Structure 1
């Protein structure tokens, strides 16, 4: 079973979450602030990070940014009472994969962890198939983009979104369909998250001017190759 790094400065909540995850079969490493969490991340190499945002010593956003620079493919879930749109968007821009507002259901947290740890791109992994997107090679199983021997590693959700765009290339990929499949619901906050991920994919693909991800207002997105 997967190893979870849990970073939470409220000891009572931290123990409840840790015990719940342990009962479900996860190995849980617990830290009470961002500095300790970052050190344990590089020492233990967990499969996923679940972290509070507002913490002493180092906040969750700063910790996530440091993790993402070194290991961009490790999924990160933020737990926080902060609900301002700017905070949510900022968290995703720093490499977060999901955002759960306090108070939250432990069952919902577990479902979201399982979704992010689900085997990546299973449709391609058994074949080891590489996809050609303009001048890029895309490996969905390894969540990797390659351009002129330069490698970029994507997060799970970035890779899944790009895979869906590729499968529907030159056609419209429905916005609501993506939100329901990858985020679980089409709430406002998840919609803003999707917008951030589209922006990040555009940035990754800007090395080939023949590739575009076009916003079809109110409907979805189209990958034009």
Structure 2
């Protein structure tokens, strides 16, 4: 079965080129120049595996569209296209739970690689479906982190980072290693996105003081999770 991609891009030339290239790479692409046409699908025929959303679109911008999609389709993988390099755009998307972003004009091969990585993360091969972390329980198939104070539905990227930290439990891991392994790139923006995700994990585990992700200035993080079944 082909990966079905929702593409929201109002530029007719770029949208057509992107659609044709992705189809040559064996993806199925439904291209929407008007994002308003996507909204009726959210309550009915929404069979996409991931979405690629242009940030700057008329009527509904990419961020607003993403909020509408995620409200109905939690954990839906999203990649943002942005023509601007302002960090506020990228960080806004990451804080919303986006899986990745890429600046236009983008290299088609890099875009395809990012798409494949997102899809791969969406169906991860994980050693165990349940992991007990201190007072918490993680269901990796449902991306559900449970605690007596409440449950959190994690994004794919959040869980991927958590599992990577678990594999390096009771040790020090550098920022560069995390960025190279999970983001496959290492620049200012990916570094800031890593900080966003680390902050989220700390917030999720705030009810258990035994769960520790300690920052080491200029190095990375010291990980100490009380794990019972990993």
Whether contact under 8 Å (1:205, 1:211) holds in the other structure is yes
Secondary structure at 1:44's aligned position in 2?
coil
Q: Measured at CA, do residues 23 and 79 of structure 1 come closer, stay the same or move farther in structure 2, by a change above 3 Å?
A: same
CA distance in 2, matches of 1:32, 1:77: 16
Q: Deviations over 1:175-202 (max 9, x none)?
A: 1111111111111111111111111222
The residue number in structure 2 matching 1:62 is 64
Secondary structure at 2:38's aligned position in 1?
helix
TM-score using structure 1 length = 0.90
Query: Which residues in structure 2 correspond to 1:1-225 (within 5 Å)?
Result: 1-42=2-43, 43-118=45-120, 120-124=123-127, 128-148=128-148, 150-225=150-225
Work out the number of aligned pairs and report it.
Answer: 222
Indicate the RMSD between aligned Cα atoms, in angstroms.
1.9
- CA drift of 1:157 comes to 1.4
Deviating beyond 6 angstroms after TM superposition, the runs of 4 or more aligned structure 1 residues are none
The residue number in structure 1 matching 2:228 is none
Whether contact under 8 Å (1:140, 1:163) holds in the other structure is no
Q: Deviations over 1:54-106 (max 9, x none)?
A: 11111101111222333332211111112111221111001111110011011
Secondary structure at 2:66's aligned position in 1?
helix
- CA drift of 1:153 comes to 2.2
Whether contact under 8 Å (2:42, 2:72) holds in the other structure is no
Secondary structure at 1:96's aligned position in 2?
coil
- CA drift of 1:112 comes to 0.3
TM-score using structure 2 length = 0.88
Whether contact under 8 Å (1:64, 1:95) holds in the other structure is no
